């Protein structure tokens, strides 16, 4: 494959049609179920080892948990406290790899202030932890932690109440736009030859005697079905793991349960600070995370047994987050400050059986049946390690020996050439007639793929205008999302390729028509389809807003699930 081809890694309508043909005609070494970060990581790992690889995702890339996280690449101070040192070291090594080699365009350092509340024990206790954190690999690309007096901490975060702290410690982690990162992993896998197809749901398994020999897939746009043949199938469906397990008719080696985490987005000017915050709660921690012109506040941790595709935030979740953050802020936040709210589900391992499943750190990989493997648990930060473990395990059922994982040496699309382009941002800006600030912002989203994005505006300068209702984004980015990034519905563009749904108080509704009209020519939509897309998106926003006024999960879930699906032919749950 020619990796210098500028169209390599493109996920547009033509590639989608080709992918459908390839799925039914080729025999794959490995088929991945699920286009979250773990599935996309497995596809990239397998493709770069030389395996014939396909990945199918029922909805949109990253539409499950992988677009709904705290967005941190971190070692996890919580694990440090539990003395899970191996886990922390591994995660910090991944953070460093992402920051330097794999995705420097997408993953950036982020500063946190730990406000100290207790005299005596607390400063040495936290400092000892952070010294370990830095020593284990934290402080390479990012600065070491630093002690601050109360006055210095208040200068860093003037929004804090004076009586909320007696001093502070500043440390660094890293942050990325999770949905864009996952999509970029998928595009990189496609670049190395993997078939990547979203809106393609696994609805059954094929067998040869007692061996899984492939999957039956359904196109969630057309309703068409086809069989995909493979030596090995890897279940990477996060909180859907048990559902796929049941569908396969095989007994699972571990179970996955869902725990809901909610985040709130508020405008940057509502909290005057030059650093994020990490606050201790009764049971865990709560973050205030800088996010472009906003802050992300979160998260919660409660059991969830309802709709897996559309977990709903309740008024109680929102009140909990505000209550904890307002305890330390001089000017409290209110519901009127909310720009966006999102809820995600942690795929937590439950009922694992160490004798039959290889329990590796906090994720598990298991051979469920001949030809079928499952991987779940873990966290976003360690997706690359999880992926390598899954492919290593799958090797047992592949007919030939396979090469070791090389993804620690594979930069994601857009990483190569990124640093030079940052230095040339002014020149780039002049070439395209854009403000240099805008170009830098785009480089952090596309890296060296920026030319691919902006060249689409050749002879169409109108595409270089901001998107109505969302001035942080250009019209051409919406076109690019549909032509290159696999976006098939308005929801994909407004919630995941851009983050308009959580960054603007209208939650995307005021940009919906303009965005739909930009997507239409790329995806072949007629006027009726444009109207339907807008209606479905508006109904989703309305249902989410409504859910967020409800006191509990079941009431919120009932409101949220009343909204229609963007992909009307998706089966939820998949029934036998």
Ligand X SMILES: Cc1cc2nc3c(=O)[nH]c(=O)nc-3n(C[C@H](O)[C@H](O)[C@H](O)COP(=O)(O)OP(=O)(O)OC[C@H]3O[C@@H](n4cnc5c(N)ncnc54)[C@H](O)[C@@H]3O)c2cc1C
Q: Tell me which of 32, 45, 64, 294 binds ligand X, using CB under 6 A.
A: 64
Nearest to ligand X of 240, 525 (CB atom): 240
The residue range among 56-64, 80-88, 119-127, 354-362 that interacts with ligand X, by the rule CB under 6 A, is 56-64
The CA-based dihedral angle spanning residues 318, 320, 325, 330, taken in that order and rounded to the nearest 10 degrees: 90
In the complex, minimum distance from the CB of residue 517 to ligand X, in angstroms, rounded to a whole number = 27
Residues 328-357 close enough to bind ligand X by CB under 6 A? 344-347
Nearest to ligand X of 214, 378 (CB atom): 378
In the complex, minimum distance from the CB of residue 448 to ligand X, in angstroms, rounded to a whole number = 25
> DSSP label at 506?
T
Phi, psi of 361 (to 5 degrees): 50, -125
Q: Pull the structure tokens for residue 525.
A: 């939509």
List the x/- string, 72-101, binding to ligand X by CB under 6 A. x-x---------------------------
Answer yes or no whether residue 201 interacts with ligand X by CB under 6 A. Answer: yes
Could you write out the DSSP letters of every residue in 404-435? PP-GGG-PPTT-TTHHHHHHTHHHHHHHHT--
Q: What is the 3-state secondary structure (H, E, C) of 78-119?
A: HHHHCCCHHHHHHHHHHHHHHHHHHCCCCCEEEEEEEEECCC
Answer yes or no whether residue 63 interacts with ligand X by CB under 6 A. Answer: yes
Answer yes or no whether residue 48 interacts with ligand X by CB under 6 A. Answer: no
The number of beta carbons lying within 10 Å of the beta carbon of residue 293 is 11
In the complex, minimum distance from the CB of residue 576 to ligand X, in angstroms, rounded to a whole number = 12
Nearest to ligand X of 76, 469 (CB atom): 76
Instruction: Work out whether the CA dihedral 544, 548, 551, 552 comes out positive or negative.
Output: positive
Answer yes or no whether residue 299 interacts with ligand X by CB under 6 A. Answer: yes
Q: Tell me which of 11, 30, 43, 56 binds ligand X, using CB under 6 A.
A: 56
Nearest to ligand X of 378, 469 (CB atom): 378
Q: CA-CA distance, 161 to 236, in Å (whole number)? A: 44
Phi, psi of 293 (to 5 degrees): -90, 30
Residue showing tokens 């390690």: 385
Q: How far is CA 552 from CA 172, 284, 302, 348, in A?
A: 35, 21, 11, 22
List the x/- string, 377-406, binding to ligand X by CB under 6 A. -xxxx-------------------------
Q: How far is CA 69 from CA 164, 178, 304, 469, 497, in A?
A: 27, 7, 16, 25, 15
Nearest to ligand X of 438, 553 (CB atom): 553
In the complex, minimum distance from the CB of residue 520 to ligand X, in angstroms, rounded to a whole number = 25
Q: Tell me which of 15, 29, 45, 57 binds ligand X, using CB under 6 A.
A: 57
The residue range among 68-76, 320-328, 418-426, 502-510 that interacts with ligand X, by the rule CB under 6 A, is 68-76
Q: Are strands 276-280 and 200-208 parallel, antiparallel or unpaired?
A: unpaired
Answer yes or no whether residue 314 interacts with ligand X by CB under 6 A. Answer: no
Question: Measured at CB, which residue is nearest to ligand X?
Answer: 36
In the complex, minimum distance from the CB of residue 54 to ligand X, in angstroms, rounded to a whole number = 11
Answer yes or no whether residue 361 interacts with ligand X by CB under 6 A. Answer: no
The Cα angle at residue 359 between residues 83 and 33, in degrees rounded to 5? 120
In the complex, minimum distance from the CB of residue 236 to ligand X, in angstroms, rounded to a whole number = 6
Q: Tell me which of 48, 65, 248, 548 binds ligand X, using CB under 6 A.
A: 65
The residue range among 51-59, 126-134, 319-327, 504-512 that interacts with ligand X, by the rule CB under 6 A, is 51-59
Query: Which residues make beta-bridge pairs with 363?
Result: 360, 377
Answer yes or no whether residue 187 interacts with ligand X by CB under 6 A. Answer: no
Answer yes or no whether residue 180 interacts with ligand X by CB under 6 A. Answer: no
Tell me if 61 sits within 8 A of 205, measured CB to CB. no
Q: Tell me which of 32, 47, 58, 87 binds ligand X, using CB under 6 A.
A: 58
List the x/- string, 231-260, binding to ligand X by CB under 6 A. -----xxxxx---x----------------
Residues 6+ apart with CB under 8 A from 355: none
Long-range contacts of 272-275 (CB under 8 A, 24+ apart): 272/157, 272/158, 272/159, 273/113, 273/156, 273/157, 273/158, 273/159, 273/160, 274/111, 274/156, 274/157, 275/111, 275/112, 275/113, 275/156, 275/157, 275/170
Q: CA-CA distance, 381 to 344, in Å (whole number)? A: 16
Q: Tell me which of 19, 20, 39, 89 binds ligand X, using CB under 6 A.
A: 39
Nearest to ligand X of 182, 483 (CB atom): 182
Answer yes or no whether residue 213 interacts with ligand X by CB under 6 A. Answer: no
Answer yes or no whether residue 486 interacts with ligand X by CB under 6 A. Answer: no
Estimate the share of the chain in helix, then strand, then coil, as percent rounded to the nearest 5: 45, 25, 35
Tell me if 28 sits within 8 A of 474, measured CB to CB. no
Nearest to ligand X of 256, 421 (CB atom): 256
Q: Tell me which of 52, 59, 324, 560 binds ligand X, using CB under 6 A.
A: 59
In the complex, minimum distance from the CB of residue 475 to ligand X, in angstroms, rounded to a whole number = 28
Tell me if 70 sits within 8 A of 91, measured CB to CB. no
The Cα angle at residue 62 between residues 186 and 255, in degrees rounded to 5? 110
In the complex, minimum distance from the CB of residue 277 to ligand X, in angstroms, rounded to a whole number = 15
Answer yes or no whether residue 54 interacts with ligand X by CB under 6 A. Answer: no
List the x/- string, 416-445, binding to ligand X by CB under 6 A. ------------------------------
| Residue 287, Cβ density class (10 Å: 0-12 exposed, 13-18 middle, ≥19 buried) | buried
Counting residues that bind ligand X (by CB under 6 A) gives: 40
In the complex, minimum distance from the CB of residue 70 to ligand X, in angstroms, rounded to a whole number = 3
List the x/- string, 499-528, binding to ligand X by CB under 6 A. ------------------------------
Residues 6+ apart with CB under 8 A from 307: 557, 560, 561, 572
Q: CA-CA distance, 40 to 240, in Å (whole number)? A: 16
Under the rule (CB under 6 A), what is the footprint of ligand X?
33-39, 56-59, 63-66, 68-72, 74, 201-202, 236-240, 244, 261, 299, 344-347, 378-381, 574
């Amino acid at each position: 494959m020619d990796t210098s081809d500028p169209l390599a890694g493109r996920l547009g309508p033509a590639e989608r049609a080709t992918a459908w043909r390839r799925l039914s005609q080729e025999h794959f070494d490995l088929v991945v179920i699920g286009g979250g970060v773990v599935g996309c990581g497995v596809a990239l790992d397998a493709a770069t080892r030389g395996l014939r690889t396909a990945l199918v995702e029922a909805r949109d890339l990253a539409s499950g948990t992988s677009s709904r996280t705290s967005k941190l690449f971190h070692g996890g101070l919580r694990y440090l406290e539990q003395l899970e040192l191996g886990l922390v070291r591994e995660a910090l090594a991944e953070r460093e790899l992402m920051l330097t080699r794999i995705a420097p365009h997408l993953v950036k350092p982020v500063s946190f202030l730990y406000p100290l509340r207790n005299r005596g024990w607390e400063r040495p206790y936290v400092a000892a932890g952070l010294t370990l954190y830095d020593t284990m690999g934290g402080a390479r690309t990012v600065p070491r932690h630093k002690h601050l007096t109360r006055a210095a901490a208040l200068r860093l975060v003037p929004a804090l109440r004076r009586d909320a702290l007696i001093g502070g410690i500043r440390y660094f982690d890293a942050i990325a736009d999770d949905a864009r990162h996952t999509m970029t992993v998928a595009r990189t896998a496609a670049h190395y030859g993997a078939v990547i197809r979203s809106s393609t749901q696994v609805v059954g398994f094929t067998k040869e005697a007692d061996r899984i020999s492939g999957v039956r897939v359904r196109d969630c746009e057309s309703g068409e079905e086809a069989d995909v043949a493979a030596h090995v199938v890897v279940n990477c469906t996060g909180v859907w793991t048990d559902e796929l397990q049941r569908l396969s008719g095989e007994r699972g080696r571990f179970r996955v349960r869902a725990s809901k985490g909610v985040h709130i987005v508020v405008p940057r000017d509502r909290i005057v600070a030059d650093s994020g915050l990490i606050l201790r709660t009764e049971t865990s921690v709560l973050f205030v995370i800088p996010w472009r012109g906003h802050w992300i506040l979160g998260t919660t941790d409660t059991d969830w047994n309802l709709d897996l595709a559309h977990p709903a935030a309740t008024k109680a979740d929102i009140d909990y987050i505000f209550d904890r953050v307002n305890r330390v802020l001089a000017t409290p936040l209110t519901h009127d400050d909310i720009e966006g709210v999102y809820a995600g589900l942690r795929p937590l391992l439950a009922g694992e059986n160490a004798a039959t499943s290889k329990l590796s750190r906090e994720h598990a990989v298991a051979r469920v049946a001949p030809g079928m493997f499952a991987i779940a648990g873990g966290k976003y930060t360690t997706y690359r390690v999880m992926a390598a473990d899954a492919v290593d395990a799958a090797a047992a059922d592949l007919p030939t020996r396979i090469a070791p994982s090389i993804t620690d040496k594979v930069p994601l699309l857009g990483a190569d050439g990124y640093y030079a382009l940052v230095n040339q941002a002014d020149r780039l800006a002049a070439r395209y007639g854009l403000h240099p600030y805008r170009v830098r912002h785009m480089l952090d989203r596309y890296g060296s793929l920026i030319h691919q994005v902006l060249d689409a505006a050749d002879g169409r300068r109108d595409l270089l205008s901001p998107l109505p209702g969302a001035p942080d984004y250009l019209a051409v980015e919406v076109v690019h999302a549909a032509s290159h990034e696999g976006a098939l519905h308005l929801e994909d563009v407004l919630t995941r390729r851009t983050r308009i749904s959580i960054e603007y108080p209208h939650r995307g509704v005021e940009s919906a028509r303009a965005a739909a009209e930009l997507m239409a020519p790329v995806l072949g939509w007629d006027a009726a389809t444009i109207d339907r897309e807008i209606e479905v998106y508006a109904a989703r926003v309305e249902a989410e807003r409504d859910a967020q006024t409800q006191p509990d999960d079941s009431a919120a879930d009932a409101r949220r699930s009343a909204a229609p699906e963007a992909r009307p032919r998706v089966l939820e749950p998949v029934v036998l």
